[in-house]
Structure 1
Amino acid sequence: MKGHIRRRYAGAWSVILSGARADTGKQFQKWHTVRGTKKDAERELARLIHEYETGAYVAPVHLTVAEYMNQWLNDSAGMRIATRTFERWSQLVRTHIAPGIGKHKLTSLKPAHLEAFYRELLTSGRLSGKGGLSPRSVLLIHRVLHSAFQRAVRLGMLARNPCDQAEAPRADSKEQRVLNGEQVAALLESLGSSPIYMPVLLAITTGMRRGEICALLWKDVDLERGLLWVNRTFMETAGGLVLKEPKTARSRRQVALPAVAIAALRKHKAAHAELMLQLGQSGIEERFVCAWEDGRPVPPAYVTHRFIKELRRAGLPKVRFHDLRHSYATLLLGAGQDMKIVSEMLGHADIRTTYNIYSHVSEQMQRQAADKLDSVLTNARSPLQP
Structure 2
Amino acid sequence: MFKGYVHRLCGCRKPVLDDDGQPVLDKKGDPKTTVVGRTCPLLKKRDHGTWFYCVELPLGPKGARRRPRKGGFATKKKAEDAAQEVWDLAHAGVDVLSDETVEQYLTRWLGAKQSTKRSTNHSYDDYVHRIFVPHLGHHKLRDLRTRHIEDMYAAIRAENDRRRKNQQEAADAITAERAAHKAWKDALAPRDPQLKSAWHEAQNALKSALAKPRKPTGPGTQRRINAALSSALQSAQRQKLISDNWARYVELPSYRPPKPLLWTKSRVETWRATGEKPSPVMVWTAAQTGEFLDSVVPDRLYPLWHLVAFIGLRRGESCALPWSETDLDEAVIHVTEQIVAVSWEAYEDTPKNDRIRDISLDEDTTELLRWWRKAQRTEREDWEEKHRTDPEKYGPYVDSGRIFTKEDGSAYHPQFFSDRFERLYKKVGLPPVRLHDLRHGSASLALLAGVHIKVVQQRLGHSSIKVTADIYTSVAEEVEREAAAATLAVVPRSRKKQLPPEEAPLEGAGADGEESESEAADGTASGPTETAA
TM-score of Structure 1 vs Structure 2, range by shorter chain: 0.7 to 0.9
Larger C-alpha radius of gyration, 1 or 2? Answer: 2
- Equivalent positions of 1:70-89 (< 5 A) are 70-76=107-113, 79-89=114-124
- Offset, 1:150: 0.7
2:5 aligned with 1:4, yes or no? yes
> C-alpha root-mean-square deviation of aligned residues, in Å?
3.5
Q: What SS does structure 2 have at the residue aligned with 1:322?
A: helix
What is the correspondence of 1:23-34 to structure 2 with a 5 Å cutoff? 27-32=65-70
Q: 2:257 aligns with which of 169, 173, 176?
A: 173
- Cα deviation per residue 1:134-174 (whole Å; 9 max; x = unaligned)? 11112111111100111111111111111022112333431
Match of 2:426 among 312, 323, 340: 312
Pair 1:188–1:152, CA change in 2 (3 A) = same
Correspondence for 2:96 among 55, 59, 64: 59
Alignment of 1:246-265 (within 5 A): 246-249=351-354, 251-265=355-369
Contact residue 59 and residue 66 of structure 2 kept, 8 A: yes
Residues 1:103 and 2:217 aligned together: no
- Whether 1:147 and 2:147 are equivalent positions in the alignment is no
CA pair 6-260 structure 1, distance change in 2 beyond 3 A: farther
| Superimposed CA distance per residue, residues 315-344 of structure 1 (whole angstroms, 9 cap, x where no aligned partner) | 222222111221111221233211111111
- How many corresponding residue pairs? 379
CA distance in 2, matches of 1:33, 1:26: 22
Task: Please list every run of 5 or more consecutive structure 1 residues that lacks an aligned counterpart in the other structure.
Answer: none
Counterpart secondary structure, 1:156: coil
8 Å contact from structure 1 (residues 58, 159) kept in 2: no
Give the partner amino acid of 2:447: L
CA distance in 2, matches of 1:195, 1:215: 17
TM-score (norm 2): 0.63
Check whether the contact 2:259–2:472 (CA below 8 A) recurs between aligned residues.
Answer: no
From 19, 40, 60, the equivalent of 2:78 is 40
Letter in 1 for 2:227: R
Distance 2:239 2:378 in 1: 61
Report Cα offsets for 1:53-92 as digits up to 9, x if no partner. 5x3654142122222111111111xx12211211121122
2:444 aligns with: 330
Quote the residue 1:186 is aligned against: 291
Consecutive unaligned residues of structure 2, counting only runs of 5 or more, are 12-48, 164-210, 261-281, 386-396, 496-526, 528-533
Structure-2 separation of matches of 1:228 and 1:306 = 24
Distance (Å, rounded) in 2 between the aligned partners of 1:308 and 1:12: 67
Query: For residues 228-267 of structure 1, what are the structure 2 equivalents within 5 Å?
Result: 228-238=333-343, 240-249=345-354, 251-267=355-371
Counterpart amino acid of residue 346 in structure 2: L
Could you tell me which of 142, 156, 163 is aligned with 1:121? 156
Write the distance in 1 (CA, Å) between the matches of 2:213 and 2:400: 48
Deviation at 1:290, TM superposition (A): 0.9
For the residue of structure 2 that corresponds to 1:20, the secondary structure is coil
**In structure 2, what residue type is equivalent to 1:74?**
G
Mapped partners of 1:348, 1:240: distance in 2:
26
Which of 401, 409, 429 is the equivalent residue of 1:287? 401
The residue type paired with residue 305 of structure 2 is V
Asked if the contact 1:178–1:323 (Cα under 8 Å) also holds between the matched residues in 2, the reply is: yes
1:122 touches 1:135 (CA, 8 Å); kept in 2? no
Cα distance in 1 for residues equivalent to 2:435 and 2:344: 23
Aligned pair partner of 1:350 in 464, 467, 471: 464
Query: Which of 31, 53, 56 matches 1:15?
Result: 53
One of 374, 381, 387 as aligned partner of 1:270: 374
* Aligned structure 1 segments of 4 or more residues deviating by more than 6 angstroms: 8-12, 22-26, 283-286, 364-367
Q: 1:178 to 1:129 in 2, by over 3 A?
A: closer
**Whole-angstrom CA distance in 1 between matches of 2:480 and 2:486:** 10
Higher relative contact order structure (alpha carbons within 8 Å, sequence separation ≥ 6): 1
Cα distance in 1 for residues equivalent to 2:331 and 2:231: 44
Q: Secondary structure at the match of 1:142?
A: helix
Q: 1:7 to 1:48 in 2, by over 3 A?
A: same
Identity among equivalent positions (%) equals 27
